[in-house]
Amino acid sequence: MFLRIILTMIILFLMVPMQSSADIPLGQLDRIRTLANEGDTEAQYQMGLSHLLATSGVKKDIDLAIRWFLIAAMEDHPGAEYQLAYIYYTGYGAQRDVFKAFNYYKSAADKDYAEAQNNLGVFYKDGIGTKKNTALAFINFKRAADKGYAKAQYNLALLYYKGIYVDKDYTRAAYWFTLAAELGNPKAQTALGNMYLHGDGVEANLHKSVYWLRQARSKQEFQSIIQLRELGL
């Protein structure tokens, strides 16, 4: 049971939580609600976010949020599909259904939605709601990584680092870890710090190693804390 909990936490990190949304100015909220009721899909999506996250002075109402997302998703709004996928995957406000989650992620990913492409990659890699397919995992991670999406860059780097689907390639792993680390991804910062420490895919450099490990530690990344303690720092 403990290992299952840990695995779930790791998967959730590799994926992406529900996106936050800036508050809608109060003067515009009624207008957005009107547009949503008139069939504007972006307004429907914004109303869903407002009810989901209790922003803009809107009362938190998961059922109503799901309703708005479903209406917007029927008109192929990728953001709404993404939110529904996460809701169904986590069971947050709805019965957990990994198959529905997979289908919504795939639909949003097919519309070039980077966050969904990353999460779809996780589903393919781990066989969540579908059969394991490391080739499709790689493709989706790469699509999102090329858009500058840090979590996907980290996930893609892991495939190169571990030799999953592709040949093990520390140089390519270091490249993608670097891009993700520079965008602030703490797991990538830890991985890059360890690569500089051991000279994997990069020239060994203790100064750079400590720098990236400290960057990760500032975000309370557990492995970086352990690594720095082992280094006496």
Find, among 106, 48, 102, the residue nearest to 72 by Cα.
Answer: 48
Q: How far apart are CA 150 and CA 114, in angstroms?
A: 10
Q: At 168, which helix (H) or strand (E)?
A: none
Quote the pLDDT of residue 7: 42
Dihedral of CA 98/99/104/109: which sign?
A: positive
Q: Which residue has the tokens 């999953």?
A: 164
Walk along the chain (233 residues) in steps of 10 and give the mean pLDDT of each run.
Answer: 42 50 62 90 94 85 95 97 97 94 98 98 98 98 98 98 97 98 98 97 97 97 95 93
Q: How far apart are CA 16 and CA 82, in angstroms?
A: 10
Dihedral of CA 103/105/108/110: which sign?
A: negative
Q: Which amino acid is at 93?
A: G
CATH number of 2-147: 1.25.40.10
DSSP state at residue 91: T
Q: How far apart are CA 181 and CA 169, in angstroms?
A: 18
The pair of three-digit structure tokens given for residue 169, joined into one six-digit string: 């390639």
The CA radius of gyration of the chain, in Å to the nearest whole number, is: 20
Q: Which residue has the tokens 């059922």?
A: 63
Q: How far apart are CA 153 and CA 103, in angstroms?
A: 23
The pair of three-digit structure tokens given for residue 177, joined into one six-digit string: 């870890």
The pair of three-digit structure tokens given for residue 166, joined into one six-digit string: 């592709």
List, in order, residues 6 or more apart from 20 with CB less than 8 Å away: 53, 55
Residues carrying CATH 1.25.40.10, the chain: 2-147
Check if the beta carbon of residue 199 is closer than 8 Å to that of residue 211.
no
The pTM score is: 0.86
Quote the pLDDT of residue 29: 79
From residue 172, give the alpha-carbon distance in Å to each of 143, 191, 204. Answer: 16, 13, 16
